[in-house]
Amino acid sequence: AKSQSVAKETNKRAVNYSNRGKSLEDDLNETNMFYLHRNMANIHKKPVPIQIVKVDYPARSAAVIKEAYFRTPSTTDYNGVWNGYYIDFEAKETDSKTSFPLKNIHPHQMDHMHSVTIQRGVAFFIVRFSTLNRNFVISYHVVAKWFSAMGEGGRKSIPIAVFEQDAIEISEGYVPRLDYLQAVKKLIANY
């Protein structure tokens, strides 16, 4: 009965969500709220790290940050827990129709994910090919192979054929908007 009512809700809300053009981040935040409220997972986007330089404390109102700078994140965009597994991922969008450019990935993000896998966490990327409207969950291990090949003079992007072969595609258009947890479960099963 429970899965039926979710299915109905899905149909209803699919109308509202049918408008394209939402960012991957928006879709993931909505999806994470969906998981959280249904006790399916506890995964959050981390706040953007800020270097605060000057704060005003006006009488009788909230503190105002008057000067601050964006800092480079030392980790990934999202982390959390599902069913005892530590989940850690980075979300990336590309306009390319043919491949995912590795320049989108910072070396420190790879270092972080390497460290996560050493601690037996589950690390991956969610990559959206915006123009194609296709989304993939791709394991850190697959990306790492291409990333180090690039370091040794290999190509600077991962062809979409690799995603089709070695990653897990997520379809859009229902609630949750981008049900990546299904793909993560498959990823874990193959770990």
Minimum CB–partner distance for residue 4 and Mg ion (Å): 36
Neighbours of 141 (CB within 10 A): 15
Please list every residue from 109 through 128 that binds a second copy, using CB under 8 A. Answer: 112, 115-116, 118-121
Q: Does 90 contact a second copy by CB under 8 A?
A: no
Out of a second copy, Mg ion, none, what residue 88 binds, judged by CB under 5 to 8 A for its kind, is a second copy
Minimum CB–partner distance for residue 24 and Mg ion (Å): 8
Q: Does 64 contact a second copy by CB under 8 A?
A: yes
Q: Does 4 contact a second copy by CB under 8 A?
A: no
Buried b (16+ CB within 10 A) or exposed e, 49-67: eeeeeeeeeeeeeeeeeee
Contact 126, 89 (CB under 8 A): yes
Q: Taking the CA of residue 187 as centre, how many other CA atoms within 13 Å lie in the half-sphere pointing to its CB?
A: 28
Binding site for Mg ion (CB under 5 A): 77, 91
